[in-house]
């Protein structure tokens, strides 16, 4: 069963959330990247077969309100942690793609209540790695974005001239929200990398071997910063391996979730 509702985190900050799967299953929070909820739709559908999947729309995406004070990824992280706490959600796994992975990492370093028991980052941005700069895709045209983001760029390239005006305007609005929240400093928190050592929950980082937005070497440094993390590089995939290589990506996530569940059973 799938349902969408709006909740109020603050008086001027309504959150749009979609829930799918079984209400009795382990909760999984899925955080989308700059491309919006559509980029994680296949992942959500897969996870909903065995989990209670909660997928928010980040404020500012899809025309949702973003108050003037809501200016950074830290605001997203704190807002989602408050939502988990206020709704009694515990023992939750957070899965984030790209920007969503950065939000997930920021949530983990702030999770003093121990609400989060597992973390999956998929080609996440969010940290500074010497020698591995995050590609500034705001400077790229559509062809350049495709070449940097996909293994098979010809398959996934979309000529903006073929996109209906309404869809193009919506994408531009989403990119404006992304720039406002993550544009300065560009796509990272300078303090995050050194804070990750305190995150000791089992963490899984998945990376497309052909990602040129954030390279596998960037992912290696990201994973090494955590207190308890491992990295898997997925062949023939770019920045969104759950779209380009869904079977391989889902297999790794499923195995991780089974392991998390087994750990929970042993300690309960």
Q: Give the pLDDT mean for 108-114.
A: 97
Report whether pLDDT(149) > 70: yes
Nearest to 160 by CA among 141, 147, 186, 188: 141
| Residue 88: strand, helix, or coil | coil
Domain assignments of the chain as residue spans, ordered by start: 2-267
For residue 263, name the pLDDT band (cuts at 50, 70, 90). confident
pLDDT for position 202: 98
In the sheet that holds 52-57, the strands lie side by side as 2-10, 13-21, 52-57, 27-31, 92-97, 116-122, 203-208, 229-234
Give residue-wise pLDDT tens across range 177-216: 999 999 999 999 999 999 999 999 999 999 999 999 999 9
Beta strand spans in the chain (E): 2-10, 13-21, 27-31, 52-57, 92-97, 116-122, 203-208, 229-234
Sign of torsion over alpha carbons 140, 143, 147, 153: positive
For residue 10, name the pLDDT band (cuts at 50, 70, 90). confident
CATH classification code of 2-267:
3.40.50.1820
């Amino acid at each position: 069963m799938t349902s969408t509702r709006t909740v109020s985190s603050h008086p001027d900050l309504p959150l749009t959330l979609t829930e799918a799967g079984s209400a009795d299953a382990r909760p999984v929070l899925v955080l989308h990247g700059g491309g919006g909820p559509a980029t994680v739709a296949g992942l959500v559908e897969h996870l909903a077969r065995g989990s209670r999947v909660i997928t928010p729309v980040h404020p500012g995406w899809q025309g949702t309100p973003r108050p003037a004070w809501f200016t950074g990824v830290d605001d997203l992280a704190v807002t989602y942690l408050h939502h988990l706490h206020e709704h009694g959600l515990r023992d939750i796994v957070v899965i984030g793609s790209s920007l969503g992975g950065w939000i997930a990492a920021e949530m983990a370093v702030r999770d003093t209540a121990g609400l989060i028991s597992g973390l999956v980052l998929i080609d996440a941005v969010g940290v500074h790695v010497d020698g591995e700069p995050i590609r500034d895709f705001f400077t790229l045209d559509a062809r350049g974005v495709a070449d940097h983001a996909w293994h098979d760029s010809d398959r996934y390239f979309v000529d903006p001239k073929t996109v209906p005006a309404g869809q193009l305007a919506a994408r531009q609005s989403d990119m404006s929200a992304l720039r406002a929240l993550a544009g300065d400093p560009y796509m990272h928190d300078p303090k995050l990398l050194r804070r990750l050592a305190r995150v000791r929950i089992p963490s899984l980082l998945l990376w497309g071997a052909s990602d040129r937005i954030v390279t596998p070497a960037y992912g290696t440094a990201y994973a090494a910063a955590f207190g308890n993390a491992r990295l898997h590089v997925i062949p023939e995939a770019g920045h969104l391996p759950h779209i380009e290589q869904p079977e391989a990506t889902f297999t790794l996530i499923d195995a991780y979730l089974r392991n998390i569940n087994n750990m929970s059973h042993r300690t309960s």
